[in-house]
A and B are shown apart, each in its own frame.
Chain A
Amino acid sequence: MVQCLAPDGSVVREDLLPDPETRLELYRQMRRARHFDERGWVLYRQGRLGVFPPFGGMEASQVGTAAALTKNDWLFPTYRDTGAALTLGLPIARTLAYWRTSPHGWHMPADLKVLPFYIPIATQYPQAVGAALAERRQGTRNVAMAFIGDGGSSEGDFHEALNFAGALNAPCVFILQNNGWAISVPTRAQTRATDLSRRADGYGIPGVRVDGNDALATYHVTREAVNRARDGGGPTLIETVTYRVKPHTVADDPSRYRSEADTAGWDAKDPVTRLRTHLLNAGLMTEDSEADLLAEIAAEFEAALAEADSYPEPTPAEILDHVFAEPTPQLKKQRAEILAEHAQDKKEQA
């Protein structure tokens, strides 16, 4: 398992350390992600966010990997990958809107190739292969990155995608976040395999196992995979070994299926603390400069929250928008029905 920093923040692979600027940027992104996750819980309890799947504790797995992309690359995130999407540049306000069940969360910025969070499991994996292949056929050096969980890697789509990507040499980077659980099912009950990165062997593509709580390590191995893909070297499967310390969603009760003992020990491996200790020890950050960073992140979030608050609620007939380029006669009729039923909506249209 590739590791750069030990859980206590000490350096175990000097040769893999990214430059100081990158290390600081990874820390900044992990902090942004954690802030979203923590504020998200509060907002959920206040009824200002819908049910969302937390990812706290998995920041290194999401940020370190997504940080290896540029804005020309594709990102196919699952519902748990808010941290990855934020890292690539998905605006916080849009992300809040998505988890607030607003259509404004579905408008992806034109300068990003990031898809809305995928709810059905594994379906996005073959799509990422297609996007990667399309980039290659069109002569670019852009790659596609797709995320999946340990549970999701049991689906047929996962295996078909890996096989296609290998056979067609698609510039694709597959991130398999092994966070220990698929809702109530532990990885050992999910599969008899104990090293999920070795699934790559069956498809003839490289597989890498990395400490998923070590942002420097996830960044290092992902960058290597991204570069290989850009250079025509084909796909890579990266298993990030991490843990879902939080419940499956904010509405889930993990005490039904796991004990405190299962989770004990993972706090000591916390990815944010790990990089923090390293940055402080290496003199790249001081407590003061960190305080400034946290203040900046909090301010950015509150401004984004205000923006999300300002998005108007959808109007009734909007549920029929964006089904086809040109609404079918049936949809036009159905729209008229909705408008007739909702007088207020009708007034707004007038």
Chain B
Amino acid sequence: MTAPTTHVPQPTTHKNMTMVAAINDALDIALAADDTVHIFGEDVGVMGGVFRATDGLQAKHGEGRVFDTPLAEAAIVGMGIGMGLAGLKPVAEIQFAGFLYPALDQILSHLGRYRHRTRSRYHLPMVIRAPYGGGVHTPEQHADSPEAILAHTPGVKVVIPSTPADAKSLLLSAINDPDPVFFFEPIKLYRSTKEDVPLGDVRIPLGKARLVTHGDDVTVICYGGMVEVAQKAAAAAHAAGIGVEVIDLRTLVPMDTDTILSSVTKTGRVVVVTEAPRTAGFHSEIAAIIAEEAIEHLRAPIVRVTGYDAPYPPFTAVEDVYRPNPVRVAKAIRQVMNY
């Protein structure tokens, strides 16, 4: 951040918040601005969500607008589809991304196809929020990163913020988007940091990546929970005289190919980081795009730093082996530098 040029105190237009508070703020603003917005899911009402993302919203906006559903993900998504068809803006919560699977039929068969199969007569302005990812020692299946499954589904958008301010403005964009959007929230980052978040209805357009650090030598492409990991690796590399450009994709669909390619054209070296399993992940798509569009600029093979082709381990003692850490990313940076 740039230092203020004057010492005159400015009226505050920001508030220091965690990511989960920023998400709550965005939902509050969306509910207040548009009475077609409805929030529902397991435990989102009275309890305010298992992570408190919907805390206080039912009390403020009423049980008609923010409500608990029975425990059935397929029906949560399917009902949301019907609500969207009939003129509401459904904002559903799936309690953990790893419990999205019962709803996959509704998502793959319908959510992504409605506009196409009705020639835009109907569209689905639905948002599905789901906490995802590891790093906090959860039980089995609570730490999955299923974003590639959604990104591979035509007709749905996929957003994954990595900072409180981004979470707020991307979520508001998602809710105001005419198409279905999956909004994955990195559990690890929900409360680990705070930052100044702009007040009011602020939006970042979907499909614009964020340059987290600038550098001429290596491009590190990541999103969500992996951004802080990549940042730490980049800081270490900077200290060793290597310039690392960290790109936070922010949205996987649509993907900001321009930002990726202009960085890769400059650096010629690429590391892609994700905590999802390695085979057939979204990181492979990124690598493929670069191979197609910028291979002549590459000075080293693209390196992927990922989870592994095994279920995410709920074994506390070795969980951290699975999830990429700054050391693994730093090693990949050295690898592309030394090629």
What residues make up the interface of A, taking CB atoms closer than 8 Å to B? 50-51, 79, 101-103, 119-123, 151-152, 154-157, 182-185, 189-191, 256-257, 313-316, 318-321, 323, 328, 330-331, 334, 338, 341-342
Contacts and interface: CB of A to CB of B under 8 A. Distances in A.
B102 A316 contact: no
Interface string B156-185: 000000000000000000000000000000
Interface of chain B: mostly helix, strand, loop or mixed? loop
Given A157-B102, A185-B71, A314-B313, 7 more contacts: A121-B99, A182-B42, A183-B50, A184-B45, A316-B318, A319-B318, A330-B279
Contacts of B102: 120, 122-123, 155-157
A320 B75 CA distance: 34
Q: Which of B50, B72, B137, B314 lies at the interface centre, i.e. has the most chain A CB atoms within 10 A of its CB?
A: B72
Contacts of A190: 70-71
Contacts of B316: 50, 101
B321 A257 contact: no
Contacts of B137: 50, 101
Contact of B71 (A154, A316, A330): A154
20 contacts: A119-B139, A120-B101, A120-B102, A121-B71, A123-B102, A155-B72, A155-B102, A183-B42, A184-B43, A184-B47, A184-B68, A316-B321, A319-B308, A319-B310, A319-B313, A319-B322, A330-B278, A330-B279, A330-B309, A338-B308
Given A155-B72, A320-B308, A314 B141 contact: no
Contacts of B308: 319-320, 331, 334, 338
A320 B315 CA distance: 12
B317 interface: yes
B51 to A, nearest CB: 12
Contact of A152 (B71, B278, B309, B313): B71
B21 to A, nearest CB: 17
Given A155-B102, A257-B46, A328-B309, A182 B318 contact: no
A338 B46 contact: no
Given A120-B101, A152-B71, A156-B75, A102 B317 contact: yes
B48 interface: yes
Contact of A151 (B71, B99, B315): B71
A185 B42 contact: yes
Nearest to B78: A156
B94 to A, nearest CB: 12
Contacts of A184: 43, 45-47, 68
A191 B70 contact: yes
A185 B43 contact: yes
Interface string B288-332: 000000000000000000001111011111100110000110010
B140 interface: yes
Interface in B49-94: 50, 68, 70-75
Contact of A334 (B46, B48, B140, B278): B278
B269 interface: no
